Amino acid sequence: MQDTNFDPGEDELIRLLLKRQSELNALLEITRAINKNSSTPVLIEMMEAILQNHLNVGKLRLLIEKDGSFICISKYGGQFETLPVLLKACTTLKKNRHPLPLADSEHALLKNYSHFIPFNDKTKNLAYALIGDFNSPAEMMDNDLSFIQTLINAIILALQNKKLFRQRLEAERMQREMELASEVQNMLIPGKLHKDSAVEIGAMYLPHQNIGGDYFDFMRINEHELIWCIADVSGKGVSAALLMANFQASLRAWATVDDDLTSVIERLNSIVVKNTRGEKFITLFLAKYNQQTRKLTYINAGHNPSILYCNGQAMLLKLGTTMIGAFEELPFINQGEVDVDPGSLIINYTDGLMDYELNPNQRWNEHELLNFALQQGHRPPDKFNQMLMDHLNLIMRGKPIDDVTLLTLRVF
Protein backbone atom coordinates (compact mmCIF):
# COMPACT_ATOMS: atom_id res chain seq x y z
CA MET A 1 0.00 0.00 0.00
CA GLN A 2 1.50 3.33 -1.08
CA ASP A 3 2.21 5.95 1.58
CA THR A 4 0.00 8.89 0.70
CA ASN A 5 2.14 11.22 2.93
CA PHE A 6 5.30 10.98 0.72
CA ASP A 7 6.47 14.43 -0.48
CA PRO A 8 9.24 14.49 -3.16
CA GLY A 9 9.99 18.13 -2.35
CA GLU A 10 10.57 17.31 1.30
CA ASP A 11 12.91 14.47 0.33
CA GLU A 12 14.91 16.82 -1.91
CA LEU A 13 15.14 19.36 0.89
CA ILE A 14 16.50 16.71 3.26
CA ARG A 15 19.05 15.66 0.63
CA LEU A 16 20.09 19.30 0.17
CA LEU A 17 20.43 19.85 3.92
CA LEU A 18 22.54 16.73 4.30
CA LYS A 19 24.76 17.89 1.44
CA ARG A 20 25.18 21.29 2.99
CA GLN A 21 25.92 19.73 6.37
CA SER A 22 28.56 17.54 4.77
CA GLU A 23 30.17 20.55 3.08
CA LEU A 24 30.16 22.59 6.29
CA ASN A 25 31.76 19.71 8.15
CA ALA A 26 34.43 19.51 5.47
CA LEU A 27 35.03 23.26 5.70
CA LEU A 28 35.25 22.94 9.49
CA GLU A 29 37.94 20.27 9.10
CA ILE A 30 39.90 22.57 6.80
CA THR A 31 39.58 25.40 9.33
CA ARG A 32 40.83 23.17 12.12
CA ALA A 33 43.79 22.09 10.00
CA ILE A 34 44.60 25.73 9.26
CA ASN A 35 44.39 26.65 12.94
CA LYS A 36 46.76 23.76 13.74
CA ASN A 37 49.19 25.24 11.21
CA SER A 38 49.15 22.11 9.08
CA SER A 39 51.64 22.04 6.24
CA THR A 40 50.76 23.35 2.79
CA PRO A 41 50.73 19.86 1.17
CA VAL A 42 48.25 18.65 3.83
CA LEU A 43 45.93 21.61 3.21
CA ILE A 44 46.09 21.11 -0.55
CA GLU A 45 45.34 17.39 -0.17
CA MET A 46 42.31 18.12 2.04
CA MET A 47 41.02 20.72 -0.43
CA GLU A 48 41.32 18.31 -3.35
CA ALA A 49 39.51 15.56 -1.40
CA ILE A 50 36.60 17.89 -0.62
CA LEU A 51 36.33 19.08 -4.21
CA GLN A 52 36.36 15.54 -5.57
CA ASN A 53 34.25 13.74 -2.96
CA HIS A 54 31.74 16.37 -1.88
CA LEU A 55 31.37 18.50 -5.01
CA ASN A 56 32.20 16.03 -7.77
CA VAL A 57 34.79 18.31 -9.37
CA GLY A 58 36.63 15.94 -11.70
CA LYS A 59 39.34 18.32 -12.87
CA LEU A 60 41.16 21.21 -11.18
CA ARG A 61 43.98 23.62 -11.92
CA LEU A 62 44.77 26.15 -9.18
CA LEU A 63 47.32 28.89 -9.87
CA ILE A 64 48.40 31.19 -7.05
CA GLU A 65 50.46 34.38 -7.08
CA LYS A 66 53.97 34.15 -5.66
CA ASP A 67 56.62 36.87 -5.77
CA GLY A 68 55.06 38.66 -8.72
CA SER A 69 54.42 35.54 -10.81
CA PHE A 70 52.13 32.51 -10.61
CA ILE A 71 52.70 28.88 -9.68
CA CYS A 72 50.37 25.89 -9.97
CA ILE A 73 49.85 24.48 -6.48
CA SER A 74 47.12 21.95 -7.28
CA LYS A 75 46.17 19.97 -10.36
CA TYR A 76 44.31 16.73 -10.95
CA GLY A 77 42.19 15.18 -13.68
CA GLY A 78 42.64 15.30 -17.44
CA GLN A 79 45.82 15.84 -19.39
CA PHE A 80 48.19 18.22 -17.64
CA GLU A 81 49.16 21.45 -19.38
CA THR A 82 52.39 23.38 -18.90
CA LEU A 83 52.35 26.36 -16.54
CA PRO A 84 53.00 29.01 -19.24
CA VAL A 85 50.09 27.69 -21.29
CA LEU A 86 47.78 27.63 -18.28
CA LEU A 87 48.81 31.10 -17.14
CA LYS A 88 48.40 32.60 -20.59
CA ALA A 89 44.88 31.21 -20.81
CA CYS A 90 43.90 32.44 -17.36
CA THR A 91 45.27 35.95 -17.83
CA THR A 92 42.94 36.46 -20.78
CA LEU A 93 40.13 36.40 -18.19
CA LYS A 94 41.88 38.17 -15.31
CA LYS A 95 39.56 41.19 -15.44
CA ASN A 96 36.60 39.03 -14.40
CA ARG A 97 35.70 39.35 -10.73
CA HIS A 98 33.19 36.47 -10.56
CA PRO A 99 33.01 32.81 -11.65
CA LEU A 100 32.67 32.52 -15.39
CA PRO A 101 31.16 29.53 -17.27
CA LEU A 102 33.40 28.33 -20.08
CA ALA A 103 31.02 26.16 -22.08
CA ASP A 104 30.93 28.69 -24.92
CA SER A 105 34.60 29.71 -24.75
CA GLU A 106 36.45 29.92 -28.04
CA HIS A 107 39.81 29.37 -26.35
CA ALA A 108 41.14 25.88 -27.13
CA LEU A 109 42.26 25.22 -23.57
CA LEU A 110 39.50 26.97 -21.65
CA LYS A 111 36.70 25.14 -23.44
CA ASN A 112 37.94 21.92 -21.81
CA TYR A 113 36.86 23.30 -18.43
CA SER A 114 33.50 24.10 -16.90
CA HIS A 115 34.27 27.31 -15.01
CA PHE A 116 36.96 29.91 -14.44
CA ILE A 117 37.06 31.26 -10.87
CA PRO A 118 39.20 34.31 -10.06
CA PHE A 119 40.39 35.29 -6.58
CA ASN A 120 41.26 38.95 -6.07
CA ASP A 121 41.95 41.52 -3.43
CA LYS A 122 41.52 45.25 -3.97
CA THR A 123 44.68 45.69 -6.00
CA LYS A 124 45.71 42.45 -7.68
CA ASN A 125 44.85 38.93 -8.76
CA LEU A 126 45.68 36.42 -6.03
CA ALA A 127 44.78 33.17 -7.77
CA TYR A 128 42.99 31.54 -10.70
CA ALA A 129 41.06 28.26 -10.59
CA LEU A 130 39.89 26.21 -13.54
CA ILE A 131 37.40 23.43 -12.74
CA GLY A 132 36.21 20.81 -15.15
CA ASP A 133 34.09 17.63 -15.32
CA PHE A 134 31.78 19.43 -12.94
CA ASN A 135 28.19 18.20 -13.21
CA SER A 136 26.38 20.11 -10.51
CA PRO A 137 22.59 20.37 -11.07
CA ALA A 138 21.50 23.71 -12.48
CA GLU A 139 19.57 24.60 -9.32
CA MET A 140 22.68 23.89 -7.20
CA MET A 141 25.28 25.49 -9.45
CA ASP A 142 25.42 28.92 -7.79
CA ASN A 143 25.58 27.40 -4.30
CA ASP A 144 28.29 24.93 -5.29
CA LEU A 145 30.40 27.61 -6.99
CA SER A 146 30.02 29.80 -3.92
CA PHE A 147 31.20 26.95 -1.70
CA ILE A 148 34.18 26.27 -4.00
CA GLN A 149 35.13 29.94 -3.76
CA THR A 150 34.86 29.87 0.03
CA LEU A 151 36.94 26.71 0.27
CA ILE A 152 39.73 27.91 -2.01
CA ASN A 153 39.68 31.37 -0.42
CA ALA A 154 40.32 29.72 2.94
CA ILE A 155 43.34 27.91 1.48
CA ILE A 156 44.67 31.09 -0.16
CA LEU A 157 44.27 33.06 3.09
CA ALA A 158 46.05 30.30 5.02
CA LEU A 159 48.98 30.32 2.58
CA GLN A 160 49.19 34.12 2.76
CA ASN A 161 49.25 33.95 6.55
CA LYS A 162 52.00 31.33 6.42
CA LYS A 163 54.00 33.62 4.15
CA LEU A 164 53.48 36.62 6.43
CA PHE A 165 54.45 34.53 9.44
CA ARG A 166 57.66 33.39 7.71
CA GLN A 167 58.43 36.98 6.76
CA ARG A 168 57.88 38.12 10.34
CA LEU A 169 60.12 35.35 11.66
CA GLU A 170 62.77 36.26 9.11
CA ALA A 171 62.55 39.93 10.05
CA GLU A 172 62.84 39.05 13.74
CA ARG A 173 65.77 36.74 13.01
CA MET A 174 67.52 39.46 11.03
CA GLN A 175 66.88 41.99 13.80
CA ARG A 176 68.33 39.64 16.40
CA GLU A 177 71.29 38.87 14.14
CA MET A 178 72.00 42.58 13.76
CA GLU A 179 71.77 43.06 17.53
CA LEU A 180 74.23 40.22 18.11
CA ALA A 181 76.54 41.55 15.42
CA SER A 182 76.39 45.01 16.96
CA GLU A 183 77.28 43.56 20.36
CA VAL A 184 80.26 41.76 18.83
CA GLN A 185 81.43 44.86 16.99
CA ASN A 186 81.08 47.05 20.09
CA MET A 187 83.50 44.70 21.79
CA LEU A 188 85.96 45.09 18.90
CA ILE A 189 85.96 48.89 18.61
CA PRO A 190 88.28 50.33 21.29
CA GLY A 191 86.29 52.14 23.95
CA LYS A 192 89.29 54.15 25.08
CA LEU A 193 92.09 55.14 22.73
CA HIS A 194 95.73 54.99 23.67
CA LYS A 195 97.49 58.26 24.41
CA ASP A 196 101.05 58.94 25.53
CA SER A 197 103.95 61.29 24.88
CA ALA A 198 104.65 59.74 21.46
CA VAL A 199 101.21 59.79 19.87
CA GLU A 200 97.76 61.43 20.03
CA ILE A 201 94.84 59.56 18.48
CA GLY A 202 91.39 60.61 17.36
CA ALA A 203 88.78 58.15 16.08
CA MET A 204 85.27 58.41 14.74
CA TYR A 205 82.94 55.55 13.76
CA LEU A 206 79.61 56.27 12.02
CA PRO A 207 77.72 53.09 11.06
CA HIS A 208 75.36 53.57 8.13
CA GLN A 209 72.98 50.99 9.59
CA ASN A 210 72.84 49.20 12.93
CA ILE A 211 75.92 47.18 12.09
CA GLY A 212 78.67 47.64 9.59
CA GLY A 213 81.84 45.93 8.51
CA ASP A 214 84.36 48.57 9.59
CA TYR A 215 87.02 47.95 12.22
CA PHE A 216 90.02 49.75 13.68
CA ASP A 217 92.54 48.95 16.36
CA PHE A 218 95.64 50.46 17.95
CA MET A 219 98.18 49.05 20.38
CA ARG A 220 101.68 49.57 21.70
CA ILE A 221 103.65 46.37 21.12
CA ASN A 222 106.79 47.36 23.02
CA GLU A 223 108.51 50.36 24.55
CA HIS A 224 109.39 51.93 21.21
CA GLU A 225 106.85 50.61 18.67
CA LEU A 226 103.19 51.30 17.96
CA ILE A 227 100.95 49.39 15.56
CA TRP A 228 97.51 50.19 14.20
CA CYS A 229 95.07 48.88 11.65
CA ILE A 230 91.91 50.06 9.93
CA ALA A 231 89.89 47.51 7.97
CA ASP A 232 86.63 46.79 6.20
CA VAL A 233 85.17 43.29 5.92
CA SER A 234 82.84 42.38 3.07
CA GLY A 235 79.24 41.74 4.07
CA LYS A 236 77.25 42.60 7.17
CA GLY A 237 75.71 40.81 10.11
CA VAL A 238 76.94 38.17 12.51
CA SER A 239 79.18 36.33 10.06
CA ALA A 240 81.07 39.54 9.21
CA ALA A 241 81.34 40.53 12.87
CA LEU A 242 82.65 37.10 13.87
CA LEU A 243 85.17 37.17 11.02
CA MET A 244 86.39 40.55 12.21
CA ALA A 245 86.60 39.27 15.81
CA ASN A 246 88.78 36.40 14.61
CA PHE A 247 90.83 38.80 12.52
CA GLN A 248 91.42 41.09 15.52
CA ALA A 249 92.53 38.20 17.71
CA SER A 250 94.89 36.93 15.00
CA LEU A 251 96.32 40.39 14.34
CA ARG A 252 96.99 41.06 18.00
CA ALA A 253 98.61 37.63 18.40
CA TRP A 254 100.94 37.81 15.39
CA ALA A 255 101.80 41.51 15.64
CA THR A 256 103.33 40.98 19.06
CA VAL A 257 105.58 38.07 18.02
CA ASP A 258 106.49 38.89 14.40
CA ASP A 259 108.46 42.03 13.56
CA ASP A 260 107.85 41.74 9.81
CA LEU A 261 104.56 43.27 8.57
CA THR A 262 104.80 41.24 5.36
CA SER A 263 104.83 38.03 7.36
CA VAL A 264 101.91 39.24 9.49
CA ILE A 265 99.85 40.02 6.38
CA GLU A 266 100.61 36.59 4.90
CA ARG A 267 99.52 34.87 8.09
CA LEU A 268 96.33 36.95 8.28
CA ASN A 269 95.51 36.13 4.67
CA SER A 270 95.91 32.39 5.33
CA ILE A 271 93.64 32.60 8.38
CA VAL A 272 90.89 34.52 6.52
CA VAL A 273 91.02 32.14 3.53
CA LYS A 274 90.80 29.13 5.83
CA ASN A 275 87.87 30.58 7.78
CA THR A 276 85.83 31.84 4.83
CA ARG A 277 86.95 29.60 1.95
CA GLY A 278 87.25 32.64 -0.25
CA GLU A 279 83.65 33.76 0.28
CA LYS A 280 84.58 36.93 2.18
CA PHE A 281 87.52 39.29 2.05
CA ILE A 282 89.00 42.11 4.08
CA THR A 283 90.64 45.33 2.93
CA LEU A 284 92.97 46.90 5.46
CA PHE A 285 95.74 49.35 6.14
CA LEU A 286 98.30 48.04 8.63
CA ALA A 287 101.11 50.28 9.94
CA LYS A 288 103.89 50.20 12.51
CA TYR A 289 105.76 53.22 13.84
CA ASN A 290 109.11 53.14 15.63
CA GLN A 291 109.46 56.29 17.71
CA GLN A 292 113.23 55.81 18.10
CA THR A 293 114.05 55.52 14.39
CA ARG A 294 111.01 57.58 13.35
CA LYS A 295 110.36 54.98 10.65
CA LEU A 296 106.80 54.24 9.56
CA THR A 297 106.35 50.86 7.81
CA TYR A 298 103.00 49.97 6.32
CA ILE A 299 101.08 47.65 3.99
CA ASN A 300 97.93 48.75 2.21
CA ALA A 301 95.94 45.60 1.42
CA GLY A 302 93.40 46.81 -1.13
CA HIS A 303 92.28 49.61 1.17
CA ASN A 304 91.81 53.34 0.68
CA PRO A 305 95.26 54.95 0.91
CA SER A 306 96.01 56.64 4.20
CA ILE A 307 97.40 60.20 4.10
CA LEU A 308 100.61 61.36 5.73
CA TYR A 309 100.66 65.12 6.37
CA CYS A 310 103.66 67.12 7.62
CA ASN A 311 104.84 70.71 7.31
CA GLY A 312 102.36 71.71 4.62
CA GLN A 313 102.87 68.61 2.47
CA ALA A 314 100.73 65.50 2.11
CA MET A 315 101.25 62.12 0.46
CA LEU A 316 99.17 59.01 -0.14
CA LEU A 317 100.36 55.72 1.37
CA LYS A 318 99.52 53.28 -1.42
CA LEU A 319 102.14 50.54 -1.35
CA GLY A 320 100.97 47.08 -0.33
CA THR A 321 99.04 44.21 -1.79
CA THR A 322 95.56 43.11 -2.79
CA MET A 323 92.73 42.44 -0.34
CA ILE A 324 93.21 39.48 1.99
CA GLY A 325 90.98 36.42 1.88
CA ALA A 326 90.54 36.42 -1.90
CA PHE A 327 93.63 34.32 -2.76
CA GLU A 328 95.30 31.44 -0.97
CA GLU A 329 98.62 33.17 -1.61
CA LEU A 330 98.88 36.90 -2.12
CA PRO A 331 100.24 37.58 -5.63
CA PHE A 332 102.59 40.34 -4.40
CA ILE A 333 103.37 42.36 -1.28
CA ASN A 334 105.14 45.72 -1.40
CA GLN A 335 105.89 47.04 2.05
CA GLY A 336 106.10 50.81 2.33
CA GLU A 337 108.59 52.67 4.51
CA VAL A 338 108.78 56.40 5.17
CA ASP A 339 110.51 58.74 7.60
CA VAL A 340 108.09 60.61 9.83
CA ASP A 341 108.90 64.07 11.17
CA PRO A 342 107.66 65.25 14.57
CA GLY A 343 104.13 66.63 14.40
CA SER A 344 103.10 64.54 11.40
CA LEU A 345 99.43 63.64 11.04
CA ILE A 346 98.40 60.23 9.62
CA ILE A 347 94.81 60.01 8.40
CA ASN A 348 93.28 56.54 8.01
CA TYR A 349 89.72 55.96 6.81
CA THR A 350 87.35 53.45 5.25
CA ASP A 351 85.68 53.70 1.86
CA GLY A 352 82.45 55.05 3.37
CA LEU A 353 84.21 58.42 3.60
CA MET A 354 84.40 58.50 -0.20
CA ASP A 355 80.96 57.07 -0.96
CA TYR A 356 78.70 60.10 -0.78
CA GLU A 357 75.58 60.91 -2.72
CA LEU A 358 76.52 64.06 -4.59
CA ASN A 359 74.73 66.52 -6.79
CA PRO A 360 76.08 66.91 -10.35
CA ASN A 361 77.91 70.15 -9.43
CA GLN A 362 79.64 68.60 -6.40
CA ARG A 363 83.03 66.93 -6.26
CA TRP A 364 84.43 64.61 -3.62
CA ASN A 365 87.31 62.27 -4.30
CA GLU A 366 90.84 61.39 -3.21
CA HIS A 367 92.21 64.63 -4.62
CA GLU A 368 89.66 66.70 -2.66
CA LEU A 369 90.47 64.78 0.53
CA LEU A 370 94.18 65.42 0.00
CA ASN A 371 93.50 69.14 -0.40
CA PHE A 372 91.46 69.12 2.81
CA ALA A 373 94.38 67.48 4.63
CA LEU A 374 96.73 70.17 3.31
CA GLN A 375 94.42 72.88 4.63
CA GLN A 376 93.54 71.36 8.01
CA GLY A 377 96.36 68.91 8.75
CA HIS A 378 97.71 71.10 11.53
CA ARG A 379 94.62 70.47 13.63
CA PRO A 380 94.55 68.01 16.56
CA PRO A 381 93.25 64.56 15.48
CA ASP A 382 89.78 64.86 17.06
CA LYS A 383 89.36 68.38 15.71
CA PHE A 384 90.50 67.30 12.25
CA ASN A 385 88.00 64.42 12.19
CA GLN A 386 85.11 66.62 13.25
CA MET A 387 85.97 69.35 10.75
CA LEU A 388 86.19 66.77 7.97
CA MET A 389 82.72 65.41 8.75
CA ASP A 390 81.34 68.95 9.08
CA HIS A 391 82.82 69.71 5.67
CA LEU A 392 81.02 66.75 4.15
CA ASN A 393 77.73 67.24 5.98
CA LEU A 394 77.44 71.00 5.63
CA ILE A 395 79.43 71.99 2.56
CA MET A 396 78.94 68.90 0.40
CA ARG A 397 75.38 68.46 1.70
CA GLY A 398 75.55 64.78 0.81
CA LYS A 399 74.79 61.61 2.73
CA PRO A 400 77.13 58.67 3.30
CA ILE A 401 75.91 55.45 1.71
CA ASP A 402 78.14 53.20 3.80
CA ASP A 403 79.85 53.12 7.20
CA VAL A 404 82.40 55.87 7.83
CA THR A 405 85.42 55.26 10.05
CA LEU A 406 88.26 57.68 10.74
CA LEU A 407 91.44 56.89 12.67
CA THR A 408 93.76 59.90 12.81
CA LEU A 409 97.13 59.97 14.60
CA ARG A 410 99.54 62.75 15.49
CA VAL A 411 103.09 61.52 16.20
CA PHE A 412 105.46 63.65 18.25
CB 365 within 8 Å of CB 190: no
Element (H, E) at 111: none
Angstrom distance (rounded) from CA 180 to CA 158: 33
Provide the pLDDT for residue 234. Answer: 84
- Asked if the model's pLDDT at residue 25 lies above 90, the reply is no
User: Does the domain made of 11-167 have the CATH classification 3.40.47.10?
Assistant: no
**Residue ranges, CATH 3.30.450.40, the chain:** 11-167
- Asked if the model's pLDDT at residue 209 lies above 70, the reply is no
Provide the pLDDT for residue 279. Answer: 82
Angstrom distance (rounded) from CA 71 to CA 325: 41
Which one is predicted more confidently, 122 or 310? Answer: 310
Q: For 349, what's the count of Cα atoms within 13 Å in the CB-facing half-sphere?
A: 24
Q: How many CB atoms lie within 10 A of CB 243?
A: 24
Total residues found in the chain within this entry = 412
Whole-number average pLDDT of the chain: 86
Provide the pLDDT for residue 347. Answer: 97
Please report, as a single letter, which amino acid is at residue 50: I
What percent of the chain lies above the pLDDT cut of 90?
47
Label the pairing between strands 57-66 and 214-220. Answer: unpaired
Confidence of residue 1 (pLDDT cuts 50, 70, 90): very low
CB 220 within 8 Å of CB 252: no
| Rg of the chain in Å (alpha carbons) | 35
Quick: pLDDT tens for 318-327. Answer: 999 999 999 9
DSSP symbol at 322: S
Q: What is the mean pLDDT of residues 49-60?
A: 90
Angstrom distance (rounded) from CA 212 to CA 42: 42
- Asked if the model's pLDDT at residue 387 lies above 90, the reply is yes
Instruction: At 70, give phi and psi (nearest 5°).
Output: -130, 145
**Residue ranges, CATH 3.60.40.10, the chain:** 189-411
- Torsion region of 401: left, alpha or beta (phi above 0 gives left; psi -120 to 50 gives alpha): alpha
**67 in helix, strand or coil?**
coil
What percent of the chain lies above the pLDDT cut of 70?
86
Query: Could you give the C-alpha distances from 174 to 161, 170, 214, 237, in angstroms and in order?
Result: 20, 6, 19, 8
Confidence of residue 42 (pLDDT cuts 50, 70, 90): very high
Strands (E), 187-323: 199-206, 214-220, 225-233, 282-290, 295-301, 306-310, 313-317, 320-321
Q: Which candidate, 290, 288, 316, places its Cα nearest to that of 303?
A: 316
Q: What is the mean pLDDT of residues 28-45?
A: 88
Angstrom distance (rounded) from CA 109 to CA 36: 38
Contacts of 151 (CB under 8 A, 6+ apart): 26, 27, 30, 47, 50, 51
* CATH number of this structure's domain 189-411: 3.60.40.10
